[in-house]
Structure 1
Amino acid sequence: MRTMKLIDITLREGAVIRGRALSFKEKLEIARSLDRLKSDTIELAPIGTGKAEELSNSTIASMVKSRISACVNIADGDIEKTWNSIQVAGKPKLNLLVPVSPVQMEYVCHKKDKAMLSLITEKVKECRYYCEFVEFSALDATRAEKGFLCDAITAAIEAGAYKVTLCDSAGIMMPHEFGAFVEDIIGRVPALADIELYVEVSDEMHMAAACGAEAVSKGAVGVKCTAVRNGYPTLEEMIRFVKMRGADLGIESGMRVTEIHQTVTQLEKILLPEEEETTRFSNISLTDVPGVTLDENDDISEVIKVVRQLGYELSEEDYSNVYESFRRVVTKKHFVGTKELDAIVASTAMQVPSTYQIINYVINSGNIITATANILLEKDGEAKRGVGTGDGPIDAAFAAIEQIIGHRYELDDFQIQTLTEGRDSMGSALIKLRADGKVYSGTGLSTDIIGASIRAYISTLNKIVYDEQT
């Protein structure tokens, strides 16, 4: 019996599946789930110019036991930076993405056949300089000229690639056609006899799983899949194929079959939210991850990048003030996480006069009553009262404030923590509100967490009002 290997590309395709970039915490939860399934390889998306993707890659690489494969585009990918982001993994691998059809080579790399072969050799060797395990992915392989495709695969193997993936990026082949295609390439490239061959098939005609199964029956070692349906074969579909026909073909899988349905259901809640309640807490971003940090070697440009990735757009003066505060903190602590950077921005940037001030508030809450809040604020010497109900005391308090101001801002983030211990401990809250596409933040301190949350909301609100009036 030979084992059919499954490379999971859920994290690689996560932004496409979710419709937006995944947060750090979402990436970590997905990686943990896939690792529990004993996926043969977890594939990560190519990193961009920002530092956040490098940090998330390194965090994932350090926490999972599965092999980690980081993609790098042949045209503009930074191989050294990509390698540095995963080298802490127990089983790191680089996956060089190479367009091989005439149209894609011209469009992406601006090169003809001969120049493309030279580039493939050069880039595979560069990958091998950093990493022992290099994969060569032939994108749009089914629309490539077969002679060139075979030359490209041979060049990659001779340069050091230990694994090759044939991609039907357009999803244009029937299962029997794709099987014949794979068999033909294996016959044309003798070097593939000692190389692991995988396939990646687009599900454009809803036949990707059948094409993958046919490819495995013709000699491919494995198939690239996603945990949830998104234009590729799913893990469940390929496991079902092994269960139904594996014995006839002499194929088995090393994945934990009994756990796959439960894990996929959990991942669907992250990646495919069917109905999200439109409450004020629905769009809160989860930005902080233990281990993802800035240190004393990071300059102001790196700090600004992370601040912007957290959603802020500040003035040059505020960026300078944030960086000065960052330097003071990092000198003492040696590192600063995103949660601490949020707090620095909230307490340092855009300090404004208090348009709204808290006079008093009364909160009623319990397990058999609906939470209510009665809040009295002062604006320009005039007292303004609001009453609100909600799903808990803090939700009710925010509703009361929104009644007073006559507007509901999108809650982008909400963090609470205890600063001191004991019966009279101090609580801290941080609020991030989004107004006209811009993120504002404020902090609040109090001996009760509800009071701290109200003060943080008012602090943030005052910054929005000041910005709107100037």
Structure 2
Amino acid sequence: MTKRIRFFDTTLRDGEQSPGCSMNHREKLMMAKQLEKLGVDVIEAGFAAASPGDFKSVKTIAEGITNSTVAVLARTVKGDIDKAWEAVKGAKKPRIHTFIATSGIHMEYKLKMSPEEVADRAEEMVAYARSLCSEVEFSAEDATRSNTDFLSEIFDRVIQAGASIINIPDTVGYTTPDEFYAFITEIKSKSKYLNDVEISVHCHNDLGLGVANSLAAIRAGATQIECTVNGIGERAGNAALEELAMILAVRGDTYDARSGIVTQEITKTSNLLSSITGVNVQPNKAIVGANAFAHESGIHQHGVLSNRETYEIMTPESVGLGNNSLVLGKHSGRHAFRDKVVSLGYEIDDEQLNIVFAEFKSLADKKKQIFDRDIEILLTKGIKESRDYYKLERFVINSGNTITTTASVVLDTPQNKKEGISFAQGPVDAAFKAIEQCIDRKIFLEDYSLQSITEGADALGYAVVKLRYKDRHFVGRDASINVVEASINAYINAINKLMREDDKEAESESIAV
């Protein structure tokens, strides 16, 4: 009988740990709701004990998700598990996911614990987590560099203590497909109880084998795959959800396996994550890259025009890549706009609708054509926090190929207006330097990118700015036909995130005192 593979998505936890991929509270909730529409079985919402912000995000997601299980990560530490349960207990289907390292190098140098102490701790804390939550997952961190005899022993003990899901992670992306298959098979043969519970794997992509190793694990008996959208995550990332989902959709017969992923939601999910994080996938990325269904070769074009199956093993429609058609314009009303937003699969309240609709009308006055992707960018851009410290009032750029560029930027702050004037070789550089004169923080520009959304000379310019302040990174985004304006607003967006984070830290310190 074809086995059902459960998809455990850790985009909001492991994925967010990827440099430049941090998300705020509302962005995480929007992403979680889209993951639920995608058909993800388990959403790992975060690491509740990591920070008050993570705790809040996990709690909100737990209370806002209906169909998917909501998991929360915790070390095998009582305080972590208490925080995890407090955050996730409001979920319809809660899960505590607790872990401890089991490889010799981790136990000796990181944990400074003996194997006996590690096994005792794991058993005790799994039992404690099970006393709070009906579903507990246990992970042996760095499993693929661990001793199989030790793993079989610790797995048996935590299963008896109440764990119903056992995760065997390739934490550093070290293993290979054949080796991983043999590794899992060997542990199963040595364990008394592993065949009675769900086996999960979490494969990193350091050697580019995350997806291949996950498929090898399915052959070896794994029924849960831990992955991320666009493959984001620590270092080289994780096994890519979209690739695994489409492999099972197209070649499920090879693995005698299927998933519950709604593949038509893949492109939208990928685009949403890119819009939120500002991190785009490379054009030749499988499934979701811009060139994934593009054909430039004359031979290929002729073949596809004759029969798409000559060069396409799956259709663009199967991953939700439909026609990017014009449907709305400057004369469209609020009801039509809301209907369009809903048809794109987004949920929006009246307050957000008012914000995004106003931006849509402004854009429609400037653009000849409004495409679905334009609206998606406006929806992401429309996520507002409760307070903006700085707002752009006006800017003036004087630039040319025979003069030094001058920028004047006026910002509105809660106290007063501030103006910065700066000179540079280009308009964006000059504008950024002018903004820096208006703020009382020493910040560093880590990265800046600008891309067009859809096509045409009047396409939206989508700007992403990454700032560094005190070893923390803040990503700002904005979109406008005026690319300099988009760049300035993206910079200000990142600064406002920085200021809100500083306020939260000051508030936490005040409460602690």
Query: TM-score, normalized by length of structure 2?
Result: 0.56
Q: Give the one of 419, 430, 439 matched to 1:401.
A: 419
Residues 1:154 and 2:160 are matched in the alignment: no
Q: Give the one of 222, 225, 238 matched to 2:224.
A: 222
Instruction: Give, in angstroms, the shift of residue 245 of structure 1.
Output: 2.2
CA offsets 1:58-95 (integer angstroms, 9 cap, x no match): 11111112111100012585211111011111111000
Residue type of the alignment partner of 1:40:
D
SS at match of 1:339: coil
Residues 1:263 and 2:280 are matched in the alignment: no
Supply the distance in 2 between the matched residues of 1:404 and 1:238 (Cα, whole angstroms): 50
Specify the alignment match of 2:165 in structure 1. 163
CA offsets 1:84-111 (integer angstroms, 9 cap, x no match): 0111111110001110111212333321
SS at match of 1:15: helix
Specify the alignment match of 1:294 in structure 2. none
SS at match of 1:70: strand
Residues 1:236 and 2:242 are matched in the alignment: yes
Supply the distance in 1 between the matched residues of 2:183 and 2:38 (Cα, whole angstroms): 31
Specify the alignment match of 2:110 in structure 1. 108
CA offsets 1:153-183 (integer angstroms, 9 cap, x no match): 0011010001000011122222111111111
Q: Give the one of 371, 386, 409 matched to 1:339.
A: 386
Q: Does the 8 A contact of 1:121 with 1:156 survive in 2?
A: yes
CA offsets 1:367-418 (integer angstroms, 9 cap, x no match): xxxx879xxxxxxxxxxxxx9888x9989xx99932499962359xxxxxxx
Residue type of the alignment partner of 1:22:
M
Supply the distance in 2 between the matched residues of 1:206 and 1:267 (Cα, whole angstroms): 21
Q: Does the 8 A contact of 1:17 with 1:272 survive in 2?
A: no
Residues 1:247 and 2:249 are matched in the alignment: no
Q: Does the 8 A contact of 2:148 with 2:183 survive in 1?
A: no
Q: Does the 8 A contact of 1:142 with 1:167 survive in 2?
A: yes
Instruction: Give, in angstroms, the shift of residue 269 of structure 1.
Output: 2.1
Instruction: Give, in angstroms, the shift of residue 118 of structure 1.
Output: 1.2
Q: Does the 8 A contact of 2:227 with 2:240 survive in 1?
A: yes
Query: How many residues end up aligned between the 2 structures?
Result: 320
Q: Does the 8 A contact of 1:389 with 1:399 survive in 2?
A: no
Q: How does 1:87-126 map to 2 (within 5 A)?
A: 87-126=89-128
Residues 1:36 and 2:50 are matched in the alignment: no
CA offsets 1:298-356 (integer angstroms, 9 cap, x no match): xxxxxxxxxxxxxxxxxxxxxxxxxxxxxxxxxxxxxxx9837x89xx9xxxxxxxxxx
SS at match of 2:26: helix
Gaps of 5+ in 2: 282-348, 350-383, 398-405, 424-429, 444-468, 471-491, 493-513
Specify the alignment match of 2:86 in structure 1. 84
Specify the alignment match of 1:417 in structure 2. none
Instruction: Give, in angstroms, the shift of residue 51 of structure 1.
Output: 2.3
- Larger CA deviation: 160-169 vs 17-26: 17-26
Q: Does the 8 A contact of 2:103 with 2:146 survive in 1?
A: yes
Instruction: Give, in angstroms, the shift of residue 267 of structure 1.
Output: 1.1
SS at match of 2:40: coil
Supply the distance in 1 between the matched residues of 2:250 and 2:385 (Cα, whole angstroms): 48
C-alpha spacing 1:220/1:433, structure 2 compared with 1 (3 Å): same
Q: Does the 8 A contact of 1:17 with 1:271 survive in 2?
A: no
Residue type of the alignment partner of 1:409:
I
Q: Does the 8 A contact of 1:372 with 1:393 survive in 2?
A: no
Supply the distance in 2 between the matched residues of 1:236 and 1:20 (Cα, whole angstroms): 18
Instruction: Give, in angstroms, the shift of residue 197 of structure 1.
Output: 0.3
Specify the alignment match of 1:142 in structure 2. 144
Q: Does the 8 A contact of 1:46 with 1:73 survive in 2?
A: no
Q: Does the 8 A contact of 2:411 with 2:419 survive in 1?
A: no
Instruction: Give, in angstroms, the shift of residue 146 of structure 1.
Output: 1.3
Q: Percent identity?
A: 26
C-alpha spacing 1:267/1:400, structure 2 compared with 1 (3 Å): same
Query: TM-score, normalized by length of structure 1?
Result: 0.61
Q: Does the 8 A contact of 1:208 with 1:233 survive in 2?
A: yes
Q: Does the 8 A contact of 2:137 with 2:165 survive in 1?
A: yes
Residues 1:205 and 2:207 are matched in the alignment: yes
Supply the distance in 2 between the matched residues of 1:67 and 1:99 (Cα, whole angstroms): 25
Residues 1:16 and 2:63 are matched in the alignment: no
CA offsets 1:408-451 (integer angstroms, 9 cap, x no match): 2359xxxxxxxxxxxxxxxxxxxx94532599xxxxxxxxxxxx
Q: Does the 8 A contact of 1:93 with 1:131 survive in 2?
A: yes
Supply the distance in 1 between the matched residues of 2:150 and 2:189 (Cα, whole angstroms): 15
Gaps of 5+ in 1: 276-289, 291-336, 347-362, 365-370, 374-386, 412-431, 440-456, 458-470
Specify the alignment match of 1:127 in structure 2. 129
Specify the alignment match of 2:312 in structure 1. none
Structure 1 runs of 4+ aligned residues shifted over 4 Å read: 387-390, 392-395, 404-407
Instruction: Give, in angstroms, the shift of residue 20 of structure 1.
Output: 5.8
Q: Does the 8 A contact of 1:40 with 1:67 survive in 2?
A: yes
Supply the distance in 2 between the matched residues of 1:404 and 1:89 (Cα, whole angstroms): 51
Residue type of the alignment partner of 1:242:
L
Q: How does 1:364-379 map to 2 (within 5 A)?
A: none
